[in-house]
């Protein structure tokens, strides 16, 4: 039951995140646009804080802060090998989260900036085509990295008796360090000029919160289900996002190929969740 509830929550979270993130990256506001690297780091901080609180609530004997600190020290600091195992998926997830911003920013820029006049400037068309290519490459890289990281993280979660929230803290710590280094390297100049939270708004804070929640829900789905079910959840969220874009936002026109793909995803989801009844002994063939 828990895996299907978490699956539904993941579908809603992913759909909300994609639509909200797209809106935030195409919203025209005065001043600089918020940094994608900053949003990724902020989401990891929020996720670590939330997981720490959940560890505190998970066991009543650890309501004492000193006892909880001792628990985290034993599970994280005193088990360096187990902790270092999370460095690989942390790096991949950090890359994936940044690629998601790159994909939505460039693909949407291409959509909204495409000149309406068929005889428009050739330079604008080339720029739009270039943005589409960058966005497509970001999506492809995110897909490949997501598959590997998901399988690796599932293996770690299911081979250990550690709490899923402790594992998320370990994952978040590495993701925070790697994300912070990336932010300083690629956006250092912007940080020095306008600070880490430049361009932040209410919409940006919602995006950060949704991304942090997504990390927690994904861990629960992988822990109590598997990475394949997580993939189905992502596919279903794409279909839901597209339907919302078509009927409510009216900025997407689905093709016959899309409807075929949507049908295959839905059918695959039901087939994967279908449990075949074992044959009765009376119907068995007697030799």
Q: What is the pLDDT of residues 18-31, one digit of tens each?
A: 888 888 887 777 77
Residue 146 CB contacts under 8 Å (≥ 6 apart), including other chains: 92, 96
Q: What pLDDT is attached to residue 177? A: 95
Written as six digits, the tokens of 184 are 């300083």
pLDDT band at 198 (very low <50, low <70, confident <90, very high): very high
Q: Which 3 state secondary structure label does DSSP give 73?
A: helix
Token pair listed for 193: 């000029």
Name the pTM for this structure. 0.78
**Is the pLDDT reported for residue 183 higher than 80?**
yes
Find the mean pLDDT for residues 170-197: 93
Exposed, middle or buried by CB within 10 Å (0-12, 13-18, 19+), for 200?
middle
Question: What is the widest separation between alpha-carbon atoms in the chain?
Answer: 83
Q: Which pLDDT band holds residue 246 (cuts at 50, 70, 90)?
A: confident
| Percent of the chain at pLDDT exceeding 70 | 79
With CA atoms as reference, report the closest residue to 98 among 181, 28, 171.
Answer: 181
Among 84-88, 217-221, 279-283, which stretch is predicted with the lowest mean pLDDT?
279-283
List, for residues 142-179, the tens digit of each pLDDT value.
777 777 888 888 888 888 778 888 889 999 999 999 99
**What whole-number distance in Å separates Cα of residue 255 and Cα of residue 242?**
11
Cα–Cα distance for residue pair 228/231, rounded to 1 Å: 5
Euclidean distance between CA atoms 27 and 23, whole angstroms: 6
pLDDT at residue 242, rounded to an integer: 77
d(CA 96, CA 234): 14
At 227 the pLDDT is 67
Place of tokens 């695959």: 268
Summary mean pLDDT of the chain = 78
| Tens-digit pLDDT profile for residues 28-76 | 777 788 999 999 999 999 999 999 988 888 765 546 777 778 888 888 8
| 8 Å CB contact between 171 and 93 | yes
pLDDT of residue 207: 94
């Amino acid at each position: 039951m828990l895996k299907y509830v978490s699956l539904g929550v993941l579908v809603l979270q992913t759909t909300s995140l994609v639509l909200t993130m797209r809106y935030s990256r195409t919203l025209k506001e005065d001043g600089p646009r918020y940094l994608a690297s900053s949003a990724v780091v902020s989401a990891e901080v929020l996720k670590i804080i939330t997981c720490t609180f959940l560890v505190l609530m998970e066991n009543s004997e650890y309501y004492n802060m000193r006892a909880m600190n001792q628990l985290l020290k034993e599970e994280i600091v005193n088990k360096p090998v187990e902790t270092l195992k999370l460095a690989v998926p942390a790096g991949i997830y950090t890359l994936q989260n940044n690629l998601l911003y790159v994909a939505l920013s460039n693909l949407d820029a291409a959509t909204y900036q495409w000149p309406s006049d068929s005889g428009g400037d050739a330079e604008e068309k080339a720029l739009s085509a270039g943005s589409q290519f960058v966005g497509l490459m970001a999506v492809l890289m995110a897909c490949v990295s997501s598959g590997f990281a998901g399988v690796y993280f599932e293996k770690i979660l299911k081979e250990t008796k550690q709490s899923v929230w402790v594992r998320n803290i370990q994952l978040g710590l590495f993701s925070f360090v790697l994300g912070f280094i990336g932010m300083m390297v690629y956006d250092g100049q912007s940080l020095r000029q306008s600070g880490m939270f430049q361009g932040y708004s209410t919409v940006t804070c919602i995006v950060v919160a949704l991304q942090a929640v997504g990390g927690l829900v994904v861990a629960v789905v992988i822990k109590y289900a598997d990475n394949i079910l997580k993939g189905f959840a992502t596919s279903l969220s794409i279909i839901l996002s597209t339907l919302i874009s078509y009927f409510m936002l009216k900025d997407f026109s689905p093709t016959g190929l899309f409807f075929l793909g949507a049908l295959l995803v839905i059918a695959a989801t039901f087939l994967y969740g279908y449990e075949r009844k074992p044959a009765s002994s009376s119907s068995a063939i007697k030799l």
